[in-house]
Structure 1
């Protein structure tokens, strides 16, 4: 990359600042200026009722009426008079107001002289918000100041100095775009902002009729992947695309099909038109860190499932949107699609041959052709959710197992075995427990097929992908392709030329281009559906719901913008109650004759309940840290005497860094490990854990598995010791099982029949472990309860597919 793309701060006029110059201070604000709200309570009430609780209009009116009745005797009133007053206040918010606009679309081509199809005369409204304003609000969000990359970069491991990929700007695509942009001398010091789009048709209700919507979302490549996945307003809805309908008689008409497809591209081009000038001429924009910078935009990857990718790439279904492999042999090596090559083919090859031999629809123009440096075929993002989880795993492999059972055992036999598999997989956790659930009912190569594919999924889902991990990804893919042939040999699968499975072959390239795939998965837009479409629809009257949904989204944005504004000015510290108590205390102190006298005793009698927090340290803090003896060799009489209080706990919380799992914006995740004699008034629950027994060895080599029977703590010589009583398991072998890739463990016994019990410091507990029964070929007894599993089975798998944290530990 040349020196021009440096993301250097500037002033409001665009003049570059000296290195280290402070940002332009924001406009001054009084600490009690809650405009348009009167105070903090009013804002928090509006946020609670409209954003969190999503209370209906009628219920809000009832609540405020009751609230008013309780305050009337104090000559006071609630924050809002009624729902109308609440909405009016939110609507008057001065920040976060990006208004909804619309334009009409209609067929303008040739029409037949007689019997004109109804769809040719229909017009449709496309509603949208200016993405230029939305993106500027994202860039100015102070919450992203430390979670944003201002320029492309290449990252290398500190261990072996090899390349690694994480957030979007660490990929080669952003780097290459910056190289192209920097050839223009006028781009000195600017910031490159990739515009990430996503769309997905959805249905909010099946029972009440045609409630289909086509939302369009936008994000920016500068924010870190964890911010985009946490849905911390880093993904915003900018449009509802039109969905033309017609009768079955005309649905297959080529003219209608072309109109429907081109309408999609033309609508997106229209929505994005205000961004086009900023893609060639830099503009000055304020960022969340307070600095202004020169910005130039560019169309980045597009998040979509396969059906949407076909529409985006203007190709025939069953073909690949990224490469030119023939639909009947997708896994054959071939060149990648490019805009120049496609346009050359369209000029030289007939429309029929384009369709049959190249899978290209000749008379469609992708929206990317209207923007500089954009090629839709190179902007198709990886999609873990639809390509891997829903596509390959659920729709392909899961269905193939069913066909295999039917082929070998007949209908009744297959149904019986399927029932047994369902009992083994009683949690319906699919990928997490499906592999051991089918073991014993399918050939070994089928088990190995699932293992290879699951390992591929967990590797590409990793938050940081290294060069060595790319080798592991390719190895897992090669094993998957090798072992899946068993389905072909037994006559279950006629072809492996399936676009979603074929997409796996592009993941290594896509990681190099766009960084870790978890930042561009369609699960991000599908989750956004809930807040942007489904919940606003439920809050509507259902009649002409879209207009009401637009208003709801606008109000939600204003409330979110107000929260960011108030938070950036330090006005949301603590809770409403705690801040009110502090204010009253200050008034009380100021009213005393001597304001410097010590505080009076607290009369609230607040008791802090203890909690056990498990860290990820591997060392044990003992009373005698220098004693090299094994605990089993220490005589009871030589131990220090303790006659104090012991506190017993039913659970302990574990807080750890888990960026590859579902977690908050800071990638921190909290889980609870239970050791409870009665769980939900039914039976005991004793969770299993990874225990760090050798901090010098990575992975399972330095770990043992134990079942926690009790958590307790005591204080000895003014030092607190949080401990756990555990029952040990032994590893069955020196490595994982060859077929499943999971470690096998068995209960440990001291003298052949007494369970091996120990007391350990909670700091040696690394993380919760999920054990899966090794079922074999035997059916599970009908009367067996899940809480009897530890006693009923002699061996267990340590489930490395429970989550990504476990996958790293137990691989």
Structure 2
């Protein structure tokens, strides 16, 4: 048995850049002049920022601010004011003014029915009728008479009211004399909202106060290592500020870069499918965590036109060029309202209540590879960022830039541009119409499509299947794939881990499926593929998990490059075994640009296309389902507008302190206040008035919605500030037993002696020296203990799905029956005494057999019975990069079991069996795999926090 003392947990994450790319000489510019299009419009920080040589200490980091674009506060006329002045009142409305709603009940009813429940009009009418029936006897009525009344109230909300506009485009080039293709005669309509007004709404949102930045900065640690985290910590924002600051009139302004994203999406219907091309907008000033959480910092700008034609003309060069130019001209026209304020300040209301002078700029564009090809005007198969030939992408080529591309277009013929440089000479990128914008530089890293769905799923996983068929033949390869599937299905449950009950053999893959498979795939294929394939996967996963960190230091970029170099070294096995002839794959090649893009834009997790794809659900797919399916786009636009109005109203009400507590508790308080006032008025009139006896308060349980991950059970997002990691038992015990009975249930005859040892240790925690443990004199306890089926571990994990404070909570299970099935006993990391050495920086691994609590000498002790694992070696396995542990035993061969205080538990640990070279029996399942193997990997890929720990 081991003695453990609770102690502060160590910092298992070290924050850790590189040099910016050289600037190129300028070249002639091209502009988007709508050569083949006809356009018709028919619209329906507190305090003063320090100079660059002044550092502000923020925790372990030192921050240097840009010296000129300092985000100074000003008045509504743009004149700078005293930086310590309080903000003007945001609104004259009283805290009781719910306009246009009658009351809080009316607002929350509208929000619940339209936003959260998304109830149909007919069902709303039914519900309101039933509600009215219950109120007739009180001569009262519901807050809305019908769905039309509810919709009308939402529509009359003044906040968030940005009207949808449209313009139409058509082909105006040379047409054939006869048999004119349909696409040349068609008119294409684009619907959009003014991006300038949308940015005003984002900047004015009080929800973002404290989560927004007004000036570019650079963060350094004590070793002068640069830290890249939020967008404004990167070099690009700083360089843009330098260019803007060349005009002294711009000093003191705030730079607001647009983050734009687009991605065609499909909504399925019974008779086929319908495509939409939504365009989204955010700003680089808000924290990455806010953008990832979709807290109204990412908004729908418009729907781009999708030109179609007959199969006869689908491959026509003129049609393809028209389709490309329509896309770029649409974007240029949508964002033209911002053009003036890219050089002249716009006065904007900010989340802290102050006004600032704002300069806009086109920032990163979030897009998958097909959209990047369209945006950059290159040929499919080429890289949109560098000049590597499409047949030799795995080399290091010169970077593309706007000036160089324009010069090539001027000097070379279209055929030479196409085959030697991969440039489509007929396309003028929309960014050429705007100041300081280079589309090649602005294309952002795309973790979802380039790394997760691209390199991992579409390349590496598929290559393993091709290797097995190439080496063993189709029949034997199928048997091996079945065993890999059984291994994946046998992985023990873990918080947030998506289940694969039938392995990975399903046809419709999502990004979440790929992310989940990454966590468990490597141990499942070991023993079936060569060592170099295992090492290639391990290197790639290291790259993937490093690049997806919430913040990266310069040392991290060194590790990132090392992982990429190892991946390139070991992936050669796919060539030598005949699986691949070349690695000229654009999505896989893009990994070479990640280190530079991190230096430019900060951590990539704030620019991933998963952000826009998630927005598809709220902005496209759910509004589609709520439509009549006939001319659905107009109904979808109206739904989005109403959603924005409700969200804006909520932000305003919250800023005025009107949404504290629940609706019911608010009503009870009002009733109480009204009753007290009534008694007070009576007493004023009659000193002898009787005082009514107080009734006991009504106890009402309000269930707040819980934020669950999209990946599985028992992984909660905790909103709020960052707090110290801790573990606590479940709110209610699942039972109670005396010590002898519990000893029988656990099959631990020595359990009473273990409690003696535990109590003795707890009584002498603060003693520097004390007598050795003696069972004859040590305190004994044979009373009743409370049994708990779980405990909750809360910890800081900002790289995983977490709240804006970076906190995450997971449940540790120790129960005899999980969801009505077999027992579940999770594994945990245990923080050991400083003098105890173990593989993971002082963290041991154990499996929880039971949670219990007891009261001894007025002390309430929360405990866990754990079975220990020991590290097989002091270093990681050289192939998988993971530590290997095995169940620990005592000298007499019995399992090594102890009682520990739950304060010693850090968080859950995920163990995956070392399967070996043999096929596993079908009888092994996720419920018994921990009992069937003698060695286990500590799965450092279970989530990002586990990767930092392991």
TM-score, normalised with respect to structure 1: 0.96
Number of the residue aligned with 1:109? 173
Measure the CA separation in 2 of the matches of 1:406 and 1:76.
74
Which structure has the higher relative contact order (CA within 8 Å, separation 6+)?
2
Number of the residue aligned with 2:539? 452
Measure the CA separation in 2 of the matches of 1:360 and 1:605.
70
Post-superposition offset of 1:257: 0.3
**Secondary structure at 2:555's aligned position in 1?**
helix
Q: How does 1:701-716 map to 2 (within 5 A)?
A: 701-716=841-856
Change (3 A) 1:401 1:640: same
Give the alignment partner of residue 722 of structure 1, picking from 862, 877, 880.
Answer: 862
Give the alignment partner of residue 884 of structure 2, picking from 744, 752, 758.
Answer: 744
Higher deviation after alignment, 73-82 or 488-497: 73-82
Give the alignment partner of residue 648 of structure 1, picking from 780, 787, 790.
Answer: 787
Instruction: Write out per-residue CA displacement over residues 239-274 of structure 1, whole angstroms, 9 at most, x where no aligned residue.
Output: 100000011110110000000000000001111011
Measure the CA separation in 2 of the matches of 1:704 and 1:571.
48
Change (3 A) 1:194 1:695: farther
**Secondary structure at 1:656's aligned position in 2?**
strand
Give the alignment partner of residue 467 of structure 1, picking from 548, 554, 577.
Answer: 554
Contact 2:345 2:358 in 1 (8 A): yes
Contact 1:694 1:703 in 2 (8 A): no
Measure the CA separation in 1 of the matches of 2:618 and 2:156.
22
Post-superposition offset of 1:623: 3.7
**Secondary structure at 1:211's aligned position in 2?**
strand
Instruction: Write out per-residue CA displacement over residues 387-435 of structure 1, whole angstroms, 9 at most, x where no aligned residue.
Output: 0000000000011101000001111111111111112122343100000
**Secondary structure at 1:193's aligned position in 2?**
strand
Measure the CA separation in 2 of the matches of 1:206 and 1:43.
33
Higher deviation after alignment, 29-38 or 485-494: 29-38
Change (3 A) 1:245 1:66: same
Instruction: Write out per-residue CA displacement over residues 719-757 of structure 1, whole angstroms, 9 at most, x where no aligned residue.
Output: 432222211111111011110011111111123432211
Contact 1:11 1:24 in 2 (8 A): no
Measure the CA separation in 1 of the matches of 2:701 and 2:366.
50
Give the alignment partner of residue 158 of structure 2, picking from 89, 94, 99.
Answer: 94
Instruction: Write out per-residue CA displacement over residues 741-798 of structure 1, whole angstroms, 9 at most, x where no aligned residue.
Output: 1111111112343221112122211111111111111112112232111211111111
Give the alignment partner of residue 561 of structure 1, picking from 642, 645, 648.
Answer: 648
Higher deviation after alignment, 695-704 or 485-494: 695-704
Structure 2 spans left out of the alignment, 5+ residues: 1-51, 53-65, 490-498, 501-515, 685-690, 704-715, 729-757
Change (3 A) 1:638 1:56: farther
Measure the CA separation in 2 of the matches of 1:373 and 1:804.
36
Change (3 A) 1:285 1:450: same
Instruction: Write out per-residue CA displacement over residues 75-104 of structure 1, whole angstroms, 9 at most, x where no aligned residue.
Output: 221121121111111111110111111111
**Secondary structure at 1:164's aligned position in 2?**
strand
Post-superposition offset of 1:601: 7.0
Measure the CA separation in 1 of the matches of 2:777 and 2:357.
72
Contact 2:74 2:81 in 1 (8 A): yes
Q: How does 1:258-273 map to 2 (within 5 A)?
A: 258-273=321-336
Q: How does 1:747-758 map to 2 (within 5 A)?
A: 747-758=887-898
Number of the residue aligned with 1:184? 247
Structure 1 spans left out of the alignment, 5+ residues: none
**Secondary structure at 1:745's aligned position in 2?**
strand
Measure the CA separation in 1 of the matches of 2:767 and 2:329.
75
Post-superposition offset of 1:607: 9.7
Contact 1:699 1:809 in 2 (8 A): no
**Secondary structure at 2:330's aligned position in 1?**
helix
Number of the residue aligned with 1:616? 725
Measure the CA separation in 2 of the matches of 1:129 and 1:688.
51
Number of the residue aligned with 1:500? 587
Number of the residue aligned with 1:670? 809
Q: How does 1:80-229 map to 2 (within 5 A)?
A: 80-158=144-222, 160-205=223-268, 207-229=270-292
Post-superposition offset of 1:640: 4.1
Number of the residue aligned with 1:487? 574
Instruction: Write out per-residue CA displacement over residues 536-570 of structure 1, whole angstroms, 9 at most, x where no aligned residue.
Output: 11111111111110010000000000000000000
Q: How does 1:60-459 map to 2 (within 5 A)?
A: 60-158=124-222, 160-205=223-268, 207-426=270-489, 427-428=499-500, 429-459=516-546
Number of the residue aligned with 2:94? 30
Number of the residue aligned with 2:927? 787
Number of the residue aligned with 1:510? 597
Post-superposition offset of 1:364: 0.6
Number of the residue aligned with 1:804? 944
Measure the CA separation in 1 of the matches of 2:486 and 2:359.
56
TM-score, normalised with respect to structure 2: 0.82
**Secondary structure at 1:203's aligned position in 2?**
strand
